[in-house]
Amino acid sequence: MITFTYDGISSSEFGIIVKNVRRQILPGNNHVLVNIPGRASSYVMPREPKDRRIDIECIITSNSFEGLRQKILNIADWLQQDEHKILDFSDQPGKYYRAILVDPIDEDQILTMSRFVISFVAEPYLYGGEERRDFVNDYVEFEKENGVPVLPRFEISFLADAAEWKLTNANNNYIRIVNSFHEGDVMEINCKTGAIYVNGIVAMDKLDWQYSRMDKFYLSIINRLQATPAGISNASIFWVPEYK
């Protein structure tokens, strides 16, 4: 029997029996089709994918009417969130959605039939657990599981004073941070958000990172990264896999 967990709480804690889960195989797209005179086919203007809808058909029972009403209130309190929360299913171990409830629970249907549907809207992609690889001698090469190209983040611990730190990928795109780094400093570069932290403090306005292209560091299947200057840091790369 399938169970699901939302915001860290399992459906089994409420005695919910899942009868069916309707999940879209792929997210829809927001592509724009433009008809061009004299051209046989439309021109496609790619856009980001649409959110996914997930409908969970459930059964719940209780020994008393009052007990059932209380279960309904507890379930409503659990599901009503103001932002996307992690939603995972027992038949997809190690993967999760980020979802939010979109339709109210039908209380009358529960009271009369003990059945109801939980309807979520989730972000377009299915996510996996965060992955990590460590640089060895200022270099890392690894194969990423096939999926959606993702932007990583980097953590750099300085072993010596340095005037800059530079990272180059296989396509010769680079991230170059100029600063008076000291032994013991820790820098984090988040390519997805564009944020740079030094010792836990946002530091973009205090650093020279001109011409750095964080947006060019999407991870592909095979990845090769080189850090310079040599021997002044320990670096690690982190990313969250995404799947269509």
- Per-residue pLDDT tens for 120-130? 999 999 999 99
Q: Which of 93, 125, 157 is the last residue of a domain?
A: 125
What is the per-residue pLDDT for 26?
78
Tell me what pLDDT residue 106 has. Answer: 85
* pLDDT of amino acid 117: 95
Residues 144 and 93 in one domain: no
The whole-number pLDDT of residue 24 equals 83
- pLDDT of amino acid 47: 73
Q: Which of 65, 93, 125 is the last residue of a domain?
A: 125
Query: pLDDT digits over 60-97, tens only?
Result: 988 888 999 999 999 999 999 999 999 999 999 999 99
User: Which residues, given as ranges, of the chain have pLDDT below 70?
Assistant: none
Output the pLDDT for position 112.
Answer: 87
Residues 74 and 146 both lie in one domain: no
Residue 214: what pLDDT? 97
- Do 120 and 146 belong together in one domain? no
**End residue of a domain, out of 125, 155, 171:** 125
- Note whether 30 and 51 are same-domain residues: yes
Give the pLDDT of residue 72: 92
Entry pTM? 0.83
Q: HEC string of the chain?
A: CCCEEECCEEHHHHCCEEEEEEECCCCCECCEEECCCCCCCCEEECCCECCEEEEEEEECCCCCHHHHHHHHHHHHHHHCCCCCEEEEECCCCCEEEEEEECCCCCHHHHHHHCEEEEEEEECCCEEECCEEEECECCEEEEECCCCECECCEEEEEECCCEEEEEEEECCCCEEEEEEEECCCCEEEEECCCCEEEECCEECHHHCECCCCCHHHCCECCEEEEEEECCCCEEEEEEECCEEC
Number of structural domains, the chain? 2
Residue 49 domain boundaries = 4-125
